[in-house]
Structure 1
Amino acid sequence: MSPTTEKPAETATEAAGGGGGQGALPAEPVGAAQDPCYDWRRDAIEGGSLRHVDLHTGTNGWASPPGDLFHLRGPNYFSRRQKCPSGEWILWPAGVDWLRSTSRLDNVLGRPDNRVAGALRRARALGVARKAFIFAVNLQVPGRECHSAVFYFATEEPIPSCSLFYRFVHGDDAFRNARFKIVNRIVKGPWIVRAAVGNHAACLLGKALTCKYLHGEDYLEIDVDIGSSALANAILHLALGCVTAVTIDMGFLVEAQAEEELPERLLGAVRVAQMEMSSATYVETKPKAAEAGKGGFRGLAKVNHHQDSSSTSKPSRSGDGKERNEGFLCCKGSHCEKESLNSE
């Protein structure tokens, strides 16, 4: 499941001697639509505005940490409170975009110029990747200039109908809010960031922050508005002030709240290594891009605020007061938990 390390295909931007471009997402590969051996997965991984780097030595880029670095709820969690290494991801990494714009970027996969959606369209035009599914998390950072860190994951296999991820994709947004979890690990960083962000901590993002879910037949995008929590916004901007000294692992998963849903497994994980704010690619904000029908994906959007306590899921077994503590981008409330490293 680890990403390829092959040399990426030349892109239109690189062919012209450029590196990024104003007003649009990174350009598509030259001649991809005519190449019968076109590998859309490689282009998705290597073509992002944040470059793919070595897991151990890379800087100002992203990599894919192994799932075993994350300790999640094991098969005996509800009886023994034990956690164990996650193991292999459910979805493979499909790239990272670090974007900036004059206003908040919503529905990134719905943009006509979205490179990951475009790569999948080109693959399907060649008769491949017919069953591919893309999962994207768009962390929206407010400020004088807005930023978005967009993490893409994908699979080319049908999602098993009996799986928790299938229920997450096809369920309602109350279920998603109650289950969508992020787990973080501070790999490298100053003590002030470790203290503020938390290490080996988990958070139910749908309860801590305002999330917008955009979904269609072959994708699900979650737009996470960090500005919806004053505390989360303050913590993030503190971390961004030291961002060139910080390396962080982030894992995304659907929280298990019943015995039959155990053990937990990562949907996907990403390591962001000593990123530079200035490396963000500028894109124009086009509020109507998703409705243009000229590219990207078209889907349904729903906004869910973390203040909403309604849920159609089963009675929560997300954890008791002893387990709950603090987490990444959270308000240190009941939706956050400190991850135990017990892997017995």
Structure 2
Amino acid sequence: MSLCVEIQKRLGNFQLDVQFEAHQEPLALLGASGCGKSVTLRCIAGILTPDTGKIVLDGAVLYDSTAHINLPPQRRNVGYLFQQYALFPNMTVRQNIAAAVRNRGRRAAEVTEKLRRFRLEEVADRRPAQLSGGQQQRTALARILASEPGMILLDEPFSALDGYLRQQLELELQELLEPFQGTILWVSHDQGEVFRNCRRVCVISQGRSQPVQTVEDLFLRPETVAAAQLSGCGNFAMAVPQGDVVFLPAWNLTLRCAAPPPPGIDCVGIRARQLHPAVSGEVNAFPCAVVRVIQDLSCTTLLLRPLDAMAEAPLLRMELDRESGLADQRELLVSVSPEHLLLLR
């Protein structure tokens, strides 16, 4: 089972140009708000029509601009879990699920099985407005699976939820999707959510997709600024490679790399947790002024300015344990290990 997507779509001044493949797996589409993730899902589902390209699911062509094929949504065998679940408001839970069952002869049995599996028996005769957020999500997912889809699209399923409820529903969704044997596209802008739920990820930045990679590669070895930003990196500076070092003009720093930078590198990223207090003589050590201290529940964030930095240079963020005892320092010698420098395009 697999999904192949190669499509282009213009919406006003926005240009979508994405291509990726997904197999029998949860594949994350990760990107900032407005980058084109939801537009991609709507094109796959048949809600929007691409301008050019091709979409193939398990060997069946859903869309092909050259062959003039464009299957309507109801023939694409795709289940779409919208952000607000899109339940029929005037139908009960039982009726919402029944509406998705294709085989009329098995409708009653299928609804009974889904009510039991999704723990909805006690609310089967309630309407969506009478349900909790978790019950609404389970009803929407039960309805999707009752249609026996070849693929499921999850469009930021927890974006409207806060803290505790979000955690609970994420655990429930993981459990309920575990038996599903098809492709799952999981759209998110939350790197933690992606890390917990997917093994591979396709980053989308300003309408353009980047090559699919493992989640581990994204978080440990991002290759572009967009990927590093989405993986949680917060410190960036333009870089000039010089042999096995990089010169960062904004901070007036020369830092040693673990290996000579490959061609095309023009930026360096440094994760806040990988900056650390240094001792004199340590590799890549440089003095900084402590500009601001931010105390959180579990960590202390120091905003630093390298002493030789340009006036308009961005501040460096360094995260330490709350009990580090360095919050009252005015100046600090810090370092980043060569293997922790992110060499980016």
The TM-score bracket by the shorter chain reads under 0.3
TM-score relative to the length of structure 1:
0.25
TM-score relative to the length of structure 2:
0.25
Work out which of the two has the higher radius of gyration on C-alpha atoms and give 1 or 2: 2
Q: Greater relative contact order: 1 or 2 (C-alpha under 8 angstroms, separation 6 or more)? A: 1
Please identify which structure carries the higher strand content.
2
